Amino acid sequence: MFISLLSLTYKKLSLIRYRLSNGIYGSSHIAVNKNTRICFDFSNSKYIHYGDMLFYLPLIFFLSKSYKISILPRYSDLKFINFFNIDSENINFIYSANDFEGIIISSPYLYFDHRDNPRYYGLGMPNKLSDIPYPAYLAKMFSDYFIKNNNFYDEFIIFFSNWKNNFKSKIINKYCNYIYFDNMTIPNGATLVSPYMASGRFRDFLGLKRNQIVNNFIDFSAHEFTPILVGSISDKYLYLDNLIDLRGVEITDIMILSCSPTVVNGIGFDNFWMHFFDLIGKKYHVKFRGRIIKFNRELHMKSINISFCEKINKNYI
């Protein structure tokens, strides 16, 4: 874990020399036009988690209306990506970057591993603070560097608002009668409990923040809500009364369950589930994982953690 932290710190410092613009990293300048093929690389699970993909997807769906867009995914993430493609946007999936003729967009850390490839660019890790939702900030950084079209960002904001509203209404309506899971009936009044970190685990090395999530659930639940535990199969089991253990269950199945009326709220770290509950309009009690550097703390509080919020006030614990 310590070696991994040092490696990321080294990459972050090294990336400074490749910064072309705010949030854009690369080795050469390029302008994007309607004939430019663009691929988003989601293939490395070390750098791209579910929350990261969710940040990029609104921009990808918007771009696909006018540009030739591809995604390089992990095969296991196809179902996850398509879950959010509610309007069946024309997205091409490729499984090797070697044969792709165009530019490839990735997270800055993944870009660093491909920095010798002039077709790779990193999008993210801005050096300027923002108080707009992070998916919109990604679109703005992309537009300011690649597109240079004053209408692009304004049009994206309209699209993003409509996409969020359409996603919520379509997905909730689709699963409004969903009450079963793997031959078990989920009782009404369930709480999704997500007390694990997929990245940055050093921030809760002793498990103190995880314990705070559990204790906070016990306090606000008062035996009123049934806890549904989610995470990977290797995550530590929690002992809670009436616990339904769904660790290791496919994420799209948990997403469908979360959309059902049986799940009324959630609690956990500021992770993918916080963003998903914001998208579907359900309350989520948040434990901030924390950031050491003031800039990163403010970026999370003012932009990243409000990515899909209707209101900027989060239910922090």
pLDDT at res. 10: 86
Do 144 and 45 contact (CB within 8 A), yes or no?
A: no
Sheet holding 315-316, edge to edge: 244-245, 226-229, 190-194, 263-269, 283-287, 315-316
Q: Where in the chain is the domain with CATH 3.40.50?
A: 180-316
| pLDDT tens per residue, range 42-78 | 999 988 999 999 999 999 999 999 999 999 999 999 9
pLDDT band of residue 2 (cuts 50, 70, 90) is: very low
Across the chain, mean pLDDT equals 89
pLDDT band of residue 261 (cuts 50, 70, 90) is: confident
Do 72 and 37 contact (CB within 8 A), yes or no?
A: no
Structure tokens at 234: 């290797």
pLDDT at res. 16: 93
pLDDT at res. 4: 67
3-state DSSP call for residue 102? coil
pLDDT at res. 29: 84
In sequence order, the 6+-apart residues with CB closer than 8 A to the CB of 242 are 223, 226, 227
Residue 310 has pLDDT above 70, yes or no: yes
Q: How wide is the angle at C-alpha 263 spanned by C-alphas 257 and 268, nearest 5°?
A: 95
For the segment 12-30, the average pLDDT, to the nearest whole number, is 92
CATH topology for the 180-316 domain: Rossmann fold (3.40.50)
Q: How wide is the angle at C-alpha 52 spanned by C-alphas 48 and 53, nearest 5°?
A: 90
| pLDDT tens per residue, range 167-221 | 988 887 887 666 556 666 777 899 999 999 877 676 777 778 988 999 999 888 8
The model's pTM: 0.92
Do 245 and 160 contact (CB within 8 A), yes or no?
A: no
